């Protein structure tokens, strides 16, 4: 689903990536339509940096992001599998395994993982 980021979305992105100066993808030259793809692809240096940034989310913000994923407004399609794994681990730690498994199903349904990149919650 194509969407424009709301003011709340922009505030959340800037909290997670304070260095975010614009809201355009440098690769596709289109406006950001989600929060996690630019965070993982443009701002996070590696998985640990991604984890550190996500840890800045308070429970309400994490719930908000998850509600966007469940409604189809937040895309996980461009998020690399290793970053999805970090995100799911954090969700499991903070909100439980069932929520993480629901998100994994959403990710798997909308994303074809290349062989060897299948995510398994342990």
Number of compact structural domains in the chain: 1
* Structure-model confidence comparison of residues 75 and 121, the more confident one: 75
Is 0.85 topped by the overall pTM? no
- Structural domain containing residue 98: 7-110
Q: Return the pLDDT at 30.
A: 61
Q: Return the pLDDT at 84.
A: 96
Domain-embedded: residue 120:
no
Domain-embedded: residue 14:
yes
| pLDDT beyond 50 at 118 | no
Domain-embedded: residue 119:
no
Domain-embedded: residue 104:
yes
Domain-embedded: residue 84:
yes
Q: Read out DSSP for 23-74?
A: SB-TTT-SB---SHHHIIIII-SSHHHHHHHHTT--HHHHHHHHHHHHHT-S
Domain-embedded: residue 90:
yes
Helix axis angle, 97-110 to 81-95, nearest 10°: 150
Domain-embedded: residue 118:
no
| pLDDT beyond 50 at 112 | no
Percent of the chain with pLDDT over 90: 64
Return the minimum-mean-pLDDT range out of 7-16, 83-92, 111-120.
111-120
The predicted-structure confidence for 25-71, as pLDDT tens digits, reads as follows 566 556 678 999 999 998 999 999 999 999 999 999 999 999 999 99
Q: Which two tokens mark 61? A: 């913000």
Q: Are 59 and 76 in contact (CB under 8 A)?
A: no
Q: Are 121 and 97 in contact (CB under 8 A)?
A: yes
């Amino acid at each position: 689903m194509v969407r424009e980021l709301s003011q709340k979305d922009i505030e959340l992105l800037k909290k997670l990536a304070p260095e975010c100066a614009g809201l355009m993808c440098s690769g596709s030259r289109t406006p950001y339509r989600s929060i996690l793809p630019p965070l993982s692809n443009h701002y996070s240096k590696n998985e640990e940096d991604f984890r550190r940034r996500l840890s800045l989310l308070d429970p309400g913000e994490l719930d908000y992001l998850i509600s966007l994923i469940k409604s189809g407004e937040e895309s996980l399609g461009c998020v690399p599998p290793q970053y999805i794994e970090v995100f799911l681990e954090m969700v499991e730690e903070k909100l439980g395994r069932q929520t993480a498994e629901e998100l994994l199903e959403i990710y798997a349904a909308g994303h074809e993982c290349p062989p060897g990149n299948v995510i398994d919650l342990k």
